[in-house]
Chains A and B, each alone.
Chain A
Amino acid sequence: MPYKYIGRTHSFKGKTLWEIVGNLKNFGVGRLVVRNTVVERYPEPSYYRILKVETLPQPKEESLDNLRKVKVLLEKTFRGVTNPKPVCIESASYKTDYRLIPKDEEQRYCQYKAPVTNEKIFPSTMELPPLMKEVLIREMKIKGEPVVEPVMDIVYNDKKRRIAKEGEKPTIEIKIGLGKPAALSLYKGIKLE
């Protein structure tokens, strides 16, 4: 009788890392593996090169909920950028989401030229919300100070992005409000500014 699985489905596609590594010569050192969900998500290539493998014991009762793990040291390339330090995968090795790249495809897979784009320069300050701005302007008037458009510093989540220095013109504008929609079809019948 065929098995019938009951439960939530997931978006994984592939094998566990042990299934791949355990069947290769010398545990596949030097070969390429990819996480399928990551590959599907981004256009740039993301892959791992196996550097070192440490086996882990087989679980006593192996089942779909208790798959064999393996400890693997990898060179990580994410979206075309190679990590200078190797990474270790152990706790996530049970996920049935890994795929081996055949040897003849490796070279083609790793080929990636970053497209030449203008660097985005983000603004360091932005306007305040309308009510707050009005209150501040009134405060200035009451105190008798010269009325200047109040601005606030933007707090960005990361430190990687390029923020406009003094006198530099940012290429991106951040404003209070809806901004530029990603797809106009979502705002059908709505008057946009």
Chain B
Amino acid sequence: MFALNVISKTLNLPATKSAVNFQILRWRRKPRWVPIAKSKQFRIPQRPVIIEDEQIELKRLFNNYRTQMKSIKRYIVERFVAARAITTDPKDIQRIFDEDFARCNKINDEWNSDIQSKRIEYFENTLEENINLAKESLQKRLELEQFKLEEAEKIVTEQKELSKTFITADNIDEAIERSLANPVDYNFAVDLDGNKFYNKKTL
């Protein structure tokens, strides 16, 4: 139905006339392995009847066409061959070869010189870039090492500071005395306002 609509539009048919009567052509051949349709099995194709005059005329036209086309093809080929005619004289062959070689060599030299200048430029630029990159990375590495050293130093000083409060054999008695004197009770309750209530058991 879509196709019919498209056809109606493209052919500018009035809305009342749809393209129902149009036969949509198959756009590709039926594959060779598909057998003959059941409906076409016993169909006998009509033998074509060509009017005698028409047949003679068609034959004449096709004969003329083929002769003319063959002549034109031969003519073009001969012209082309004549234009590129090659001599059999070895001196001439050597000369043509040398000329061709010189021409090719010239083009090759041009390409080489062009690429050489490009290559020099490329290597100069890349050397400078590489040196800069190496310098940058060295700087970064040094900074990183310095940072690591500082961090380590910081940890060491902190630990040194803490070591003063450590319990040792010398002050163990004092520490025991202190802990006995200050009992700590972690057993507390909390209300909704966050108040802590201690000594629940004793209360």
Contact present for A128 and B75 (CB under 8 Å): yes
**A130 → chain B, closest Cβ, in Å?**
12
Cα separation A181 to B70 with both chains bound (whole Å): 22
Contacts of A178 in B (CB 8 A): 61
Q: Which of B18-53 contact A (CB under 8 A)?
A: 42, 44-45, 47, 53
Contacts of A6 in B (CB 8 A): 42, 44
B56 proximal to A (CB < 8 A): yes
Contacts of B67 in A (CB 8 A): 154-157, 174
**A81 → chain B, closest Cβ, in Å?**
21
B17 proximal to A (CB < 8 A): no
A85 proximal to B (CB < 8 A): no
Residue-wise, chain A 148-176 has the 8 Å CB interface mask toward B (1 for contact) of 00001111110000000000000000101
A192 proximal to B (CB < 8 A): no
Contacts of A126 in B (CB 8 A): 68, 71
Residue-wise, chain B 56-91 has the 8 Å CB interface mask toward A (1 for contact) of 110011001011101111110000000000000000
**B137 → chain A, closest Cβ, in Å?**
68
A91 proximal to B (CB < 8 A): no
The residue from A8, A153, A176 contacting B45, defined by CB atoms under 8 A apart: A8
Contact present for A182 and B71 (CB under 8 Å): no
The residue from B44, B45, B71 contacting A155, defined by CB atoms under 8 A apart: B71
B114 proximal to A (CB < 8 A): no
Cα separation A156 to B66 with both chains bound (whole Å): 9
Contacts of B53 in A (CB 8 A): 182-183, 185-186
A7 proximal to B (CB < 8 A): yes
B124 proximal to A (CB < 8 A): no
Interface centre among A128, A152, A154 (most CB of B within 10 A): A152
A56 proximal to B (CB < 8 A): no
Contact present for A174 and B64 (CB under 8 Å): yes
- How many residues of chain B get a CB closer than 8 Å to chain A's CBs? 20
Q: Dominant SS at the A interface?
A: loop
**B84 → chain A, closest Cβ, in Å?**
16
Q: Do A132 and B72 form a contact, CB below 8 Å, given A154-B67, A179-B60?
A: yes
Interface centre among B53, B56, B61, B71 (most CB of A within 10 A): B71
The residue from A8, A154, A174, A185 contacting B44, defined by CB atoms under 8 A apart: A8
Cα separation A180 to B53 with both chains bound (whole Å): 13
B128 proximal to A (CB < 8 A): no
Query: Which single residue of chain A is at the shortest CB-CB distance from B66?
Result: A157
B54 proximal to A (CB < 8 A): yes
Contact present for A153 and B74 (CB under 8 Å): yes
Query: Which single residue of chain A is at the shortest CB-CB distance from B53?
Result: A183
Contacts of B60 in A (CB 8 A): 179, 182
Contacts of B42 in A (CB 8 A): 6
Q: Do A183 and B47 form a contact, CB below 8 Å, given A157-B67, A174-B67, A176-B68?
A: no
Contacts of A154 in B (CB 8 A): 67, 71
Cα separation A91 to B77 with both chains bound (whole Å): 41
Cα separation A182 to B44 with both chains bound (whole Å): 33
Contact present for B72 and A128 (CB under 8 Å): yes
Cα separation A186 to B53 with both chains bound (whole Å): 8
A118 proximal to B (CB < 8 A): no
Contact present for A152 and B71 (CB under 8 Å): yes
Residue-wise, chain A 1-25 has the 8 Å CB interface mask toward B (1 for contact) of 0000011110000000000000000
Binding site for B on A (CB under 8 A): 6-9, 126, 128-129, 132, 152-157, 174, 176, 178-179, 181-183, 185-186
9 A/B residue pairs, CB under 8 Å, sorted by A: A6-B44, A129-B68, A152-B71, A153-B74, A155-B71, A179-B60, A181-B57, A185-B53, A186-B54
Closest 4 CB pairs of A and B: A183-B53, A152-B75, A155-B70, A182-B57
